[in-house]
Chain A
Amino acid sequence: MRSEKLFFNSALFKKQTQRFWPIWSLYTLLMVSIIPLYTIMDYSYNSHLEASEIAIQFQNYLIDFAVHAAPTISLITGLIIACAVWSYLHNSRSSALIHSLPMNRTSLFVTNYLTGICFFLVPNILVLLLTYGVGLSIGVGGMTGILTWFYCQTMSSLFFYSFATLLAFVTGNTLTLPVLYAIFNALVIVIYQMMNWVFGEFLYGYAWNSMSKMEQWAEYLTPVYAMYENLDYTHPIEGGMVTEIHGLGMMGIYALVGVVFTILGYLLYRRRKLELAGEVIAEPFLKPVFRVGFALCGGLAMASFFYAIFYSIFAGKFFSYMLFMLLWSAIFYIAGDMILAKSVKPRRKSLKPCAVLLVVLAVFGMLLQFDVFGYEGYTPEATEVENITITIDYNDKVIPLAFAPEGEKQEIILQVLALHEDIIAEKEHTLNTIKGNDPDMIAVQQENYANGWETWDWERVTIQYVLLNGKVVEREYQIPVTEALLENDSIGNSLNEFVNSPAVILLRHFPQADKIEYIESSIDLMNDNGIEESRWVQSFGKEASQKLMDALVEDMENGRIGIEYFLETEEKANINYENIIYIVTSGKYNTEEMSNLYKWNRWNEEEFTFHTEIRLQSTATATIEALHELGVEDEFLMTRAEYREMEQVLYGTYEKW
């Protein structure tokens, strides 16, 4: 009783520790085996190595374990410990026993919560000390590795245990707790991906990456995924000591979030009605949330599933998707209500609120379908735009208007806006084509590769606006291209003219050209000896590369190289060479902007270099002359048509591009 004043009861702590000894003892055994014991065994195999190598292996193992394994272990142990420690709340008899004891709820909460903390913290401390001792005994004095492990393991355990504790107060049922835990650990990212897919399917212009901030939040709200993605380390030299560990701050933040969960859990515990032990949801105010959440998530999942199954029939048909959504939301709402009522029969009481939910869903769907929110028809005003980035076929062709010369920038912005408005105006035609309802397009598609050449294709165009107010707006479209469309007045034609304008070609290949200080280059060369093909790369030094680049720039300014052909036609095969010129530049680039724009290729963050590839074209007279001057012979340069002939001769067939 005296310990009541400290909100901690040693008798209860002792009892809980005794009851659940298998949990903490198994955890201790596991961690002792994986860490200090493993390092001893590893040393016994590798004792012949140099002391420095032993130290590297020792520290790197601990750090690798900390970043790659610790969160996963915590994910599991956090749940198991919470299930055990709070299990008394989920049974009416046990909760009556514990709550009839002379303790208030604050003391019960603090005692039980700290008991759970001890289940992982004490073994972690033991492992820390044992491993440090092992390190000393084998001549490794540093504590970086073991402290990193201790920090990651303890912080992640604190987070997951606290999260499971909060859920233990949401539910009154021990079996429901792991289910809720699993759901909420994955819910946000799964819902995000599904919504992304639905919007991508039905919102004209929706860009999969447009909600990148939301995606970041979805990642952070899926902690185990965020930890997997962000906890990492670098060791510049292969096999060398780890020099930098990433994500430690994030682990600290998650631990703090765990503290917040603990406080919320305590508040729920104080108001908990013990008569709800055994209920799926123990907090009455959360029951409607459960019903609606269950309905929406289940409806979304099943509607998407059935839509995918019957895609060939319902592709692009929003009303069909809505019907699936309404039907499955109703089923899941009623099922959720049955789960809460622990009944195998649907309850009449659930029909009215279910109907209300369906009406709200239907209205929301209609608002989306008729673009009441103005998403599909939106283009910014030219005066609002600070920068634009256009990407074609994802990162294959990035056009960063941020680096356009000031005099040209405004004109390019106006061109882009005009193109964007045309794309929006062509919505019905484009969607008809996507759905396969355009008879002209169907005819062209049926001829595809009939003569060995492409007659149609899709170009995926992403337009990203950075506005003056800092907002980023992104849209993505699929533009159909055929020979006829490219020649006539169409958005495909507008896109083609824009992408192949000299200013844009220069921007694509040499962004921040005025900041280049150093160039390297090389070119693919090939020939055949009648039996087999040979390929090799010829590299050029700084001066030769500068000469080559000057020629390339001259050809680009005159529209003679860098032309993109959207279709694989015979004309393209005769103009495009199989030979690709590789240019690597470095200079006083705006590195942050380069990293942001070129997420997956071209910009090398570690070396501060930019890579570009330019396919040689027969119209690039200056470039070809430069290559000749640099010693490249014509017999090693092949157009694609020539290359195709060669394949036909050598292999009896050619690869369709």
Chain B
Amino acid sequence: MIKMQNVVKSFDGFHALDDFSMHVPKGAIYGLVGPNGSGKSTAMRHLTGVYRQDKGEVLLEGKPIYENPEAKVRIANIPDELYYFVSATTKDMMKFYKGFYPKFDEKRYEALKDVFHTVDEKRPIRRLSKGMQKQSAFWLSICCRPDLLLLDEPVDGLDPVMRRQVWSLLMADVVESETTVLVSSHNLRELEDVCDHVGIVSKGKILVERSLSELQDMVNKIQIAFPESVEMNLPADLEVLHQSKIGRVHTLIIREQTEIVLAKLGALNPILLEAIPLSLEEIFIYELGGEDYAVREIVL
């Protein structure tokens, strides 16, 4: 569905995107995660057609997005910093978007009034709370019936009930209409529940891009223990991202498929060998630890 290939974007000599390549399959809910300043929002702005890349391609089903209204009409976007016209109400914006998106579903808009009942459609959006503004943004975006929905920190500011509601709506669209959703967020626990694909960004590049299940299979937390007299000799071909020890129990974070890891470590005859699935948050932390972006112990 989406292909960003070898994209480079610089601002005053700083490479915000540095040979950035990302592929989002149709119908996926793709989580784009990365540390602050890694290039997530910059990538999103290329996908909305706001930025023009210095090099590379940004394609929607093989067609460039930049300066292509036919591509852009299939995309709806909720940026991290919302903007609305002064004194524009949700109803005003509905009429505004209707003029641009031929698939804008006014019936759906009316139907979703019950869902977003706390938002007064006749009140200027700028006068609403942050959470209500987000709700208004969701309300309008999903009524555009986009093929691609881009969400930058989408649920930031929403209460837990509304968050569930919104995700439920989105996932229903994914199922029914094969809407592709690209989400950028720091709330990895929540993303883990909804995303089926993940891309981890660091310093303008995609470090890892996999389906969530493959990713979780690719990085394992292993707890292993040996008899007192036995030293642990790990196979050299195992990529260990992190290693710690409490007592005789070693905890290893290994990038390798679970079966292969268990087979190789089993050959060492440990007295304890257990594979514990990692959360997305843990995968994120350990992957980026290799990029010199780890939690540091600071002595004050």
A residues neighboring B (CB under 8 Å): 1, 4, 9-12, 14-15, 19, 91-97, 99-105, 107, 273-275
Contact = CB atoms under 8 A, between A and B. Distances in A.
B99 A97 contact: no
A94 B83 contact: yes
Nearest to A94: B83
A107 B99 CA distance: 14
A19 B102 contact: no
Interface string B77-93: 10101110110000000
A15 B85 CA distance: 9
B49 interface: yes
Interface in B40-61: 45, 48-52
3 shortest A-B CB distances, which residue pairs?
Answer: A11-B99, A93-B83, A102-B73
B69 interface: yes
A1 B73 contact: yes
A93 B72 CA distance: 18
Contacts of B98: 11
Contacts of A92: 81
Nearest to B103: A1
A15 B98 CA distance: 12
Residue of A99, A105, A274 ringed by the most chain B CB atoms within 10 A: A99
B50 A9 contact: no
B48 A100 contact: yes
Residue of A91, A95, A104, A107 ringed by the most chain B CB atoms within 10 A: A104
Contacts of A99: 48-50
A19 B50 CA distance: 23
Contact of B69 (A11, A15, A102): A102
A1 B100 CA distance: 6
6 contacts: A15-B99, A100-B49, A100-B50, A100-B75, A102-B69, A275-B51
B67 interface: yes
Chain A interface helix/strand/loop/mixed = helix
B72 A100 contact: yes
Contacts of A273: 51-52
Contacts of A93: 79, 81-83
Contacts of A94: 83
B244 interface: no
A1 B52 CA distance: 22
Contacts of B72: 100-103
Contacts of B86: 19
- How big is chain B's contact interface, by range? 20 to 34
B293 interface: no
B69 A12 contact: no
A119 B49 CA distance: 29
Given A96-B79, A100-B79, 7 more contacts: A10-B99, A92-B81, A96-B83, A100-B75, A102-B69, A104-B67, A273-B52
A14 B102 CA distance: 17
A14 B96 CA distance: 9
A15 B96 contact: yes
Contacts of A274: 50-51
Contacts of B73: 1, 102
A102 to B, nearest CB: 4
Contacts of B100: 1, 9, 11-12, 101-103
Interface string B19-56: 00000000000000000000000000100111110000
A90 B119 CA distance: 29
A100 B66 CA distance: 9
Nearest to A272: B52
A489 to B, nearest CB: 69
A104 B73 CA distance: 11
A1 B96 CA distance: 13
Nearest to B102: A1
Interface string B204-232: 00000000000000000000000000000
A50 B9 CA distance: 75
B86 to A, nearest CB: 7
